Structure 1
């Protein structure tokens, strides 16, 4: 196998980042793992974030686990998206943790969610469980910013969900709330609790929550740009 010869260090521009991502298109996960020196797990049961971490490393991302964009110096977030043989997303996409306290005066314009989604490098990856992890191929990248319609949809859902959190209704939020965005518990286990607000404004302990893009949003986005 010919080495990829990806440049070392973070990319210096969006164009360079996109060029690097295009070099990965068509390669298998095992080919990339071998070239960047990352051990590949047998499956993703215990290593759910491994594909994202692999591509971050290959592309020279700098954020790691810090709460900022993966390519903060470029203002670009990296999102891998597992797809089926028709190019449709297989699962919802985690964006960021939902803030459960200290939200008075927070607006959509200043929200962490909007900041994270302002510029996204989407990389589709074959994700069907029948395919061995090693042979799954990386797809063509897409550098995306929400258009006016997409931003309006996201803002509507964000405002509705944040209203519920502020009004102490966090425990009533289900994955069915929201047209394109949902809030779901995001914790390693049911003992990992965080501070929240109850119905009468009292402090409560509850599971951490995360914002996720629903499949219908990402499916439409991929279909439009890749003409599926």
Structure 2
């Protein structure tokens, strides 16, 4: 892995340096094998980018570049530059959350400063041939943060009230809550409607494609 970047500008230059390069070339430099597809290797693209950019946090709650306060997010895009899938932000806390505020939340921490790295994501392009796009560094505008906070508070209120099982992907304008587990046996604690602990699938916060599409559009138009 490359050493951790010491400044935002150094990180951004590294990201610009790999723009236009194929996954195969990047993987060969990192001595990583390119999987046939991402069905069983969902995190592979992120790991490849982390290696080249010097991210050290991995899947920990803090930002990928903790010293710089910057999170790394790859975003698969279509031929027209539109995001092809929602973006995972972080795992949602389901217990011990009374008194938790948006300002203290992992979601806000993760999204306070983001290095977005678009990557080719169309399925007919072999994984090895897909290329990295031009990066951008982003912080939410006042309006974007307001939208995110509103969604987060609505979703967290439902969790606190024991309604986690009633939350669907339709809840939240820009931020949604969805099950996140490798399999259906990976259960965790949450509050049920009666206030007692129940077992449920872990949940994760995701940004809707509409939100990330707006970010890309505002920077690249």
**Hey, what does 1:87 align to over in structure 2?**
81
Which SS does the other structure have where 1:95 is aligned? Answer: strand
2:54 paired with 1:72: no
CA distance in 1, matches of 2:212, 2:79: 15
CA distance in 2, matches of 1:180, 1:8: 34
1:97-146 deviation digits (Å, cap 9, x = unpaired): 01000111100011110000000000000000010001101000000000
**Hey, what does 1:50 align to over in structure 2?**
44
Which SS does the other structure have where 2:217 is aligned? Answer: helix
CA distance in 2, matches of 1:66, 1:151: 23
Tell me the CA shift for residue 8 of structure 1.
3.5
Taking structure 1 as the reference length, what is the TM-score of the superposition?
Answer: 0.96
Alignment of 1:20-169 (within 5 A): 20-169=14-163
On the 8 A contact 2:61/2:106 being kept in 1, the answer is no
2:182 paired with 1:188: yes
Count of equivalent residues: 221
Tell me the CA shift for residue 36 of structure 1.
1.6
Find runs of 4+ consecutive structure 1 residues off by over 4 angstroms. Answer: none
2:164 paired with 1:170: yes
Tell me the CA shift for residue 35 of structure 1.
1.1
CA distance in 2, matches of 1:25, 1:178: 33
Q: Please, which runs of 5 or more residues in structure 1 have no aligned partner? A: 1-6
Q: Please, which runs of 5 or more residues in structure 2 have no aligned partner? A: none
Which SS does the other structure have where 1:96 is aligned? Answer: strand
On the 8 A contact 2:72/2:114 being kept in 1, the answer is yes
Which SS does the other structure have where 1:80 is aligned? Answer: strand
Tell me the CA shift for residue 167 of structure 1.
0.3
Q: Superposition RMSD on alpha carbons, in Å?
A: 0.9
